[in-house]
Structure 1
Amino acid sequence: VNRDIFIEKQKEIMKQPDWIIDGNYTSTMDLRIKYADIVIFLYYKTLRCLYRIIKRRIQYHGQTRPDMGDNCKEKLDWEFVHYVLQFNKNRAPAILTKLESLNDKQIFIIKHPKQLKELIHNLNDVSID
Structure 2
Amino acid sequence: MDRILVLGPCGAGKSTLAAELGKRLDLPVIHLDAEYWRAGWIEPPREEWEAKVEELIARPRWVMDGNYGSSLARRLQRADLVVNLDYPRRVFFPRMIWRLLKNWGRTRPDVAPGCDERFDLEFWRYTWRYRIDVEPRRAARIAESGVPVIALRSPREARDWLVQSTETMDSWNPALPRKN
Q: TM-score, normalised on structure 2? A: 0.64
**Structure 1 vs Structure 2: percent identity of aligned residues?**
25
Tell me the CA shift for residue 118 of structure 1.
2.2
Q: Distance in 1 between matches of 2:87 and 2:143?
A: 17
Query: Can you list the C-alpha shifts for 1:19-74, whole angstroms capped at 9, x where unaligned?
Result: 12211101000000011001112121112221111111111111111222211101
What is the Cα-based RMSD across aligned positions, in Å? 1.6
Tell me the CA shift for residue 102 of structure 1.
3.8
Task: In structure 2, list runs of 5 or more residues that go unmatched.
Answer: 1-43, 175-180
Tell me the CA shift for residue 12 of structure 1.
0.9
Of the structure 1 ranges 91-100 and 24-33, higher mean CA displacement relative to structure 2 is found in 91-100
Query: Can you list the C-alpha shifts for 1:81-113, whole angstroms capped at 9, x where unaligned?
Result: 11111110122112222323343x221122111
Instruction: Give the aligned length.
Output: 126
Of the structure 1 ranges 41-50 and 23-32, higher mean CA displacement relative to structure 2 is found in 41-50
Match of 1:114 among 153, 156, 160: 156
Task: In structure 1, list runs of 5 or more residues that go unmatched.
Answer: none
Point out 4+ residue stretches in structure 1 off by more than 2 angstroms: 97-103
Match of 2:62 among 5, 8, 19: 19
Of the structure 1 ranges 89-98 and 15-24, higher mean CA displacement relative to structure 2 is found in 89-98
Query: Is 1:29 equivalent to 2:76 in the alignment?
Result: no
Match of 2:97 among 50, 54, 63: 54
Q: How does 1:69-84 map to 2 (within 5 A)?
A: 69-84=112-127
Q: TM-score, normalised on structure 1? A: 0.87
